[in-house]
Structure 1
């Protein structure tokens, strides 16, 4: 077969592009939603952080999850909670924000190492190839834990937090023509996810302009 593998590769590329566009559209919509309902988003994220901390504590007490990784996870969410003091604004150079970024990666590595070593240990003590270890979590359980207890809060903060300052222009300053300015001259906060999507769109637009592609309104 010669044509079918090419069709498979082409379908994979097209599917990846559609998935990327869907994720970018979702991030953009969620960022817009948070900008319109900041108070509600802050309450939701605060309750979410406390709920995940309680969930991790229950997993340690009931399901006997390891103490040190659990303590690291609870401490990390306590640090995430510190980012809520100025919600939705954040300085990218803030030590608390930088510590949160580092803790996300550390948590992922620690829990990935824990689950992988637990599976390896269980398979090494199998008496037969056809045995199925019953004391190890399934893939869906591990993925759910990573999604809820490791990545959910950092992802929500990434979508919700804004890297801009909500300030009024001072006397003598030049008027800005940026689309982030509203009618009253007050700068509208823009979420980091929304800013990232806009930056990627700008890079794609500049690349298309260099290749001679034009927008439909520019062709008139």
Structure 2
């Protein structure tokens, strides 16, 4: 077979492109939604952080999850909670924000190592090749733990927080003439832009620049 593998590669590329567009559209919509409902988003994220901390405690007490890793996860969510003090604005050089980025990667690494070692020990203790260890979590359970207890809050913060380059002016500063007569555009610029929206916009602008360099927009320029 020669044609079918090529069709498979082509379908994988098209599917990946559609998946990327779907993720980008979802991020853009969620960022717009958070900008319109900032107070509700802050309450939701705060309750979500406390809920996940309680869930981690229950997993440690009931399911005997390791205490040190659980403590690391709870401390990480306390650091995530510190980013809510000036929600939705955040400085990219803020120590709490930088610590949050490091803790996300650290939690992912240590929990991945934990589940890998647990699964390896369970298979080593099998008496027969045909036995199935019953004390190891399934792939669905591990993926759900990573999605809910490790990545959910950082992803929600990434969608919700706005870079503080366009924060509100201070009390002593005077608004410029362009901001006074700008109307909705000046109000939108003062409100700031979500990091997810900024990322999507930068990617789209980069694609547009590549298209312009490649000559895709020549017909539009002629018009």
* Same fold (TM > 0.5): yes
Once the two structures are superposed, residues 3-33 of structure 1 have per-residue CA deviations (whole angstroms, 9 ceiling, x without a partner) of 0000000100100000000000000000000
The CA distance in 2 between the partners of 1:14 and 1:185, in whole Å, is 35
Give the alignment's TM-score, normalised by structure 2: 0.91
Partner residue of 1:166?
167
Kept in 2, the 8 Å contact 1:166–1:187? The answer is: yes
Shift in CA distance, 185/86, structure 1 to aligned 2, threshold 3 Å: closer
Greater per-residue helix proportion? 2
Shift in CA distance, 185/191, structure 1 to aligned 2, threshold 3 Å: closer
The CA distance in 2 between the partners of 1:188 and 1:108, in whole Å, is 33
The CA distance in 2 between the partners of 1:14 and 1:20, in whole Å, is 10
Kept in 2, the 8 Å contact 1:182–1:188? The answer is: no
Partner residue of 1:209?
212
For residue 132 of structure 1, give the secondary structure of its aligned residue in structure 2: coil
Partner residue of 1:95?
95
Stretches of structure 2 lacking an aligned partner (at least 5 in a row):
none
Once the two structures are superposed, residues 178-220 of structure 1 have per-residue CA deviations (whole angstroms, 9 ceiling, x without a partner) of x9x7255862321000000000001000000000011886453
The CA distance in 1 between the partners of 2:23 and 2:218, in whole Å, is 23
2:201 to 184, 190, 198: 198
Once the two structures are superposed, residues 125-144 of structure 1 have per-residue CA deviations (whole angstroms, 9 ceiling, x without a partner) of 11111111100000000000
The CA distance in 2 between the partners of 1:201 and 1:94, in whole Å, is 27
The CA distance in 2 between the partners of 1:27 and 1:204, in whole Å, is 18
Aligned residues: 217
Say whether 1:66 aligns with 2:69: no
The CA distance in 2 between the partners of 1:74 and 1:172, in whole Å, is 43
Kept in 2, the 8 Å contact 1:90–1:161? The answer is: yes
CA RMSD, aligned part only? 2.1
The CA distance in 1 between the partners of 2:195 and 2:71, in whole Å, is 29
